Structure 1
Amino acid sequence: MSFQNTLAYAQSQDQADPLRSFRDQYHIPQHNGKDTVYLCGNSLGLQPKSARAALENEMVKWAELGVEGHFTGDNPWFTYHAALAPATARLVGAKPEEVVVMNQLTVNLHLMLVSFYRPQGKRYKILTEAGAFPSDQYALESQVKFHGFQPDDAIIEVAPRAGEHTLRTEDIVNTIQQHGEELALVMMGGVNYYTGQVFDMAAITQAAHGVGALCGFDLAHAAGNVTMQLHDWDVDFAVWCTYKYLNSGPGGTSGVFIHERHAHNPEIPRFAGWWGHDQNVRFQMKKGFTPMPGADGWQLSNGQILPMAVHKASLELFDEAGIENLWAKSERLTGYLEFLIKELNQPKEALEVITPAEPSARGCQLSLLVHQNGRQLFETLMANGFILDWREPNVIRVAPTPMYNTFEDVHRFGQFLAAHFNK
């Protein structure tokens, strides 16, 4: 890609952007009466302007209909989750019956581990990436302990090579093959939260299946960020949150993918709840759990209608924009950010991008390793209207999100960094 380090160039790119109108569909936080440069969609996405009306619509239904809102009006609450499935499936490359929106991410991860971490004999180990998000680490630790194993023995972590920050796919595959007879499950992030590396989920899944293990992913930093084909990749299960790139509100609901070969198997062990029970006889209140077909059969309780209403409003914008179009813009926008950082000509001892340079191996996040006074730089940026994300010990995560960020946003950030490092 050919870029230019000028405001005029950035503005020309914004004018030519076919997705430029979507920025107007979001509330941009203000700083001194002006739009902030919000580069933190990897932590909390911005509020869609349509979210308030969507939420108010359900509040009105609650006020006017009470309990009857479950069965009457547009999108009855009884089947509200089903209205989210088609758009959710399009986001992650799945069939509608393979996805369900419910609960929150770590709750869903535990539910998936109940079903898909089934240690037997010497096949009891889980492989994951070193430095996985803490919730994933804690979930895996507690699950192996629940089965009577010690985490130091039962959890295998794949770490980057000496002097490198990211994982090589060949090292992941080789480790899977090395421990093949012991592996019950490969469970990794789709995108590493710290480095922003997108893992080759297709290759990892194939390697796991090749040794007789199952394979699942935490897509918290992938859903709404990168294109995926979970069904075609033969992934066994995946979970994700919706409050980051999917802009569905703090503490928002979560998504689950379960491949159809599992989703339509009623014999798979699970923790059951009445909303996962056959809806045709659910209100007969009888003993004996009969799961709904598809991923719906993993539901526990009735849907979180208010968070789901916000999520539905957000999904409508993603459907309109198209995840492939967002990915194409993301590649250009993140590439422009990388170009501007390289223009600083800083030695690696001062500033280092630890996110992969290959566009296919990253989403819209670049992680900047600031070796000296990184926290001070972060606080200076925040004080000047740049909203970003700090991760210990010395990384600033910068995420130019294609749904609402602009080339001018990225250029302003680059100019500020240049002024900082050249003073």
Structure 2
Amino acid sequence: MNYQNNIEFAQQLDQQDKLANFREKFLIPKHHQQDAIYLCGNSLGLQPKATYQYIQEQLAVWQNLAVEGWFQGSDPWLNYHQQLKKPLADMIGARPAEVTVMNSLTVNLHLLLVSFYQPTTKRFKILMEGGAFPSDQYAVESQVKFHGYAPQDAIIEVFPREGEETLRTEDILTAIQDNADELALVLFSGINYYTGQFFDLSSIAKAAHQAGAYVGFDLAHAAGNVPLALHDWEVDFACWCSYKYMNSGPGGISGIFVHEKHFTNSSLNRLAGWWGYRNDTRFKMAAGFEPETGAEGWQVSTSPILLMAAHKVALDIFNEAGSILPLRQKSIQLTGYLKFLIDEINQKAGNELFKVITPENEQERGCQLSIICKQKGKEIFDYLYSQGIIGDWREPDVIRLSPVPLYNSFTDVFRAGQHLAKAVDHF
């Protein structure tokens, strides 16, 4: 697309946007009585207007039926989670039996590592990207310690080459091949939280399996953001949160994927709970854990219905949008426009004041652009916030801006670009 740096062009794109009306389904924060320009969906998605209604409906069930809400009413709680599985499966490229919703992200990562990190004397190493989100680093570190290994011996981190900001796929694959005899697990994020790089998950999964290792993905920044095909890629497991691009509320319920090839694998360890017991005999309260078939067999605790109600609102909106594909098309255009405006600022200044470290290739990024400010970065970020531009700051010098296709417009992006240019003049 040939972008233009003027409001008329941005408004024209908004008029042509078939997804533009979805913005009306969300509550936009205010700045001086006007809609703020919210570009922080990479951290917390906006609240759908219907969230209050969905949660109120379940509060009414609790009020009127109390404990019988698990079994009575139009939508009994006992099977409430079942209606979330197909839209989630469609979103991440899975079969419904391969997904379920439960817990929070890092709790789920630990539960899945119990199953898929089973080190042996020969195979005990975990390979992951250098600079992964700290929760993943801490989870992996504690898991290898739990099994009696020192993190410096058991964890292999793959970093970008000197002078580069993102990882090359060939370097990831080479690292897998070079450590093939010792690898128990390859664990990567779908999109790196800091740089916004969307990894080649299909190639990573294939290389991991060729090396004889399991492969799992943390999709916190990928689920609801980019197209995924976990089943076809034969990924062993994955987990994600729902409060970023899935707009399901702060600390919203998490989800997991387990490939169907593992459903009958009795050699996998797991931490069991009553909610993961086989559904047909769960209420017999028998001793001895027998897991439900599918990802549900990894459930541990009772479903948190109010969190699931908030999640259902968001999934219903995604379902109304049709699929992740039209959202992806708009996302590419939004980030492309933002990148164009940043390049215009640099060209006008005759200097690279803002360096976008998210990959240039639109297929290697999602909604997010990570921008290194060459000077006065925190001051510029604070100035943007004072003008109603809500992004987020990452030390030492990165501003993350994420135009989300469900509720951001091209006019939002244009105005953000204007304020970024004014910030240069201001400082």
Same fold (TM over 0.5): yes
Q: Given that residues 39 and 388 in structure 1 are in contact (C-alpha distance below 8 angstroms), is that contact kept between their aligned partners in structure 2?
A: yes
Partner of 2:413: 410
Q: Decide which moves more: 107-116 or 276-285.
A: 276-285
Alpha-carbon deviation of 1:371? 2.2
CA distance in 2, matches of 1:208, 1:420: 45
CA distance in 2, matches of 1:351, 1:199: 23
Aligned pair 1:392/2:399, yes or no?
A: no
CA distance in 2, matches of 1:304, 1:355: 36
Alpha-carbon deviation of 1:265? 3.0
Q: Given that residues 127 and 183 in structure 1 are in contact (C-alpha distance below 8 angstroms), is that contact kept between their aligned partners in structure 2?
A: yes
- Describe how 1:190-201 pairs up with structure 2 within 5 A: 190-201=190-201
- Describe how 1:12-51 pairs up with structure 2 within 5 A: 12-51=12-51
- Please state whether the residue corresponding to 2:280 is helix, strand or coil: coil
Aligned pair 1:375/2:366, yes or no?
A: no
- Describe how 1:271-350 pairs up with structure 2 within 5 A: 271-321=271-321, 322-344=323-345, 345=347, 346=349, 350=353
Letter aligned with residue 250 of structure 2: P
CA distance in 1, matches of 2:126, 2:350: 39
Q: Given that residues 387 and 419 in structure 2 are in contact (C-alpha distance below 8 angstroms), is that contact kept between their aligned partners in structure 1?
A: no
**Structure 1 unaligned blocks of 5 or more:** none
Q: Given that residues 75 and 83 in structure 1 are in contact (C-alpha distance below 8 angstroms), is that contact kept between their aligned partners in structure 2?
A: no
CA distance in 2, matches of 1:407, 1:188: 32
Letter aligned with residue 343 of structure 1: E
Letter aligned with residue 350 of structure 1: L
Letter aligned with residue 229 of structure 2: Q
CA distance in 1, matches of 2:190, 2:160: 16
Q: Given that residues 105 and 240 in structure 1 are in contact (C-alpha distance below 8 angstroms), is that contact kept between their aligned partners in structure 2?
A: yes
Partner of 1:255: 255
CA distance in 1, matches of 2:51, 2:107: 24
CA distance in 2, matches of 1:230, 1:301: 25
Write out the 4+ residue segments of structure 1 that deviate beyond 4 Å after TM superposition.
Answer: 346-349
Q: Decide which moves more: 76-85 or 398-407.
A: 76-85
CA distance in 1, matches of 2:352, 2:3: 25
**Structure 2 unaligned blocks of 5 or more:** none
- Please state whether the residue corresponding to 1:343 is helix, strand or coil: helix
Letter aligned with residue 368 of structure 2: Q
Q: Given that residues 226 and 323 in structure 1 are in contact (C-alpha distance below 8 angstroms), is that contact kept between their aligned partners in structure 2?
A: yes
In the alignment of these two chains, the number of paired residues is: 423
Deviation digits for residues 336-390 of structure 1, max 9, x if unmatched? 0000000012566632000001011000100000121111111111111011111
Deviation digits for residues 207-257 of structure 1, max 9, x if unmatched? 000010010000000001000000001111000000000000001000100
Alpha-carbon deviation of 1:156? 0.2
- Please state whether the residue corresponding to 2:246 is helix, strand or coil: coil
- Please state whether the residue corresponding to 1:233 is helix, strand or coil: coil
Letter aligned with residue 123 of structure 1: R
Letter aligned with residue 105 of structure 1: L
CA distance in 2, matches of 1:172, 1:154: 17
Letter aligned with residue 217 of structure 2: F
Partner of 1:421: 424
State the percentage of identical aligned residues.
57
Normalized against structure 2, the TM-score is what?
0.98
**RMSD (Å) for aligned C-alpha atoms:** 1.0
Q: Given that residues 103 and 253 in structure 1 are in contact (C-alpha distance below 8 angstroms), is that contact kept between their aligned partners in structure 2?
A: yes
